[in-house]
Amino acid sequence: MPEFFGRFRALIFDVDGTLAETEEVHRRAFNETFDHFGLQWKWESALYRELLKVTGGKERMRHFIDAYAVEDAVVTDEDISQMHRFKTERYAQILAQSGCCLRPGIAELIAAARARGQKLGIATTTSRGNVEALLSSTLGPDATKQFDAIVAGDEVARKKPAPDVYIKALELLGLSGHECLAIEDSRNGLLSASQTGIPVLITPSHYTSDDDFAGAVAVVKNLAEIGETSLGIG
């Protein structure tokens, strides 16, 4: 793993799209939820690419109703919360069945950072339960203990692209932005971390490959293919 990562006191990871390509699992969980609740909604992958610009599952459903005027009947916030609870349960079940794996180089970078004595953080829009489900199914049952700070979307006032999750992660880590590196896959994540002064390394994911990553320290295909040369900082 290149020396580049050793320059920081902490590495803070985004979850969806960065630790793993989870968005297809989210999309399937949403669609199965819509079926379960008798709705005729179907989020095809081209539509989901657009919908992902709105972070957070509950916010995404509300945006879908507003932007696509799909429901004549009033859908209340409580309806959305109820559907989202069902979706979160389905997400964990599908994840457990499908054996989702981490993206290339993630496990190695986490192990190397721990060996160097660096702190590790997570700053995500999804829920803490989903983070725990992903970490335990990929890194083992005690995986969350490897992280010094985990901040999830519903634990702050505003989701990405607002900086709230990164502000809270920095508080919990006891560090300043420039002492950390954020690893993200999306423009929303880049904007969120950048506002706190954290430099951002981007590994684009399936659904974010067309995002604008201006302002990132570097954009690399994945963490396994990083070399000092490709980072342009060697």
Interface ranges with ligand XBP (CB under 6 A): 14-17, 23, 26, 55-57, 88, 124-127, 130, 153, 160, 189
Tell me the residue type at 10.
A
- Decide if 206 contacts 21 (C-beta within 8 A): yes
Q: Pick from ligand XBP, Mg ion, none: which does 160 bind, CB < 5 to 8 A by kind?
A: ligand XBP
Annotated active-site residue 14? The verdict is: yes
Rg of the chain, C-alpha, whole Å: 18
Nearest residue to Mg ion, by Cβ distance, number only:
17
3-state class (DSSP) for residue 119: strand
Tell the smallest beta-carbon distance from residue 85 to ligand XBP (Å).
10
Q: Which of 23, 164, 185, 211 binds Mg ion (CB under 5 A)?
A: 185
Q: How far is the CB of 98 from ligand XBP (least distance, A)?
A: 16
Residue nearest to ligand XBP (CB): 57
User: Helices 128-139 and 106-116 sit at what angle, rounded to 10 degrees?
Assistant: 90
Cβ-in-10-Å burial (0-12, 13-18, 19+) of 10 comes to buried
Would you call 227 helix, strand, or coil by DSSP?
coil
Residue 56 site contact among Mg ion, ligand XBP, none (CB < 5 to 8 Å, cut-off depends on kind): ligand XBP
105 binds, among Mg ion, ligand XBP, none (CB under 5 to 8 A by kind): none
10 or 54: CB nearest ligand XBP? 54
**Beta carbons of 167 and 174 less than 8 angstroms apart:** no
CA-to-CA distance for 88 and 22, rounded, in angstroms? 13
Can 212 be counted among the known catalytic residues? no
Name the site residues for Mg ion (rule: CB under 5 A).
14, 16-17, 185-186
Catalytic residues: 14, 16
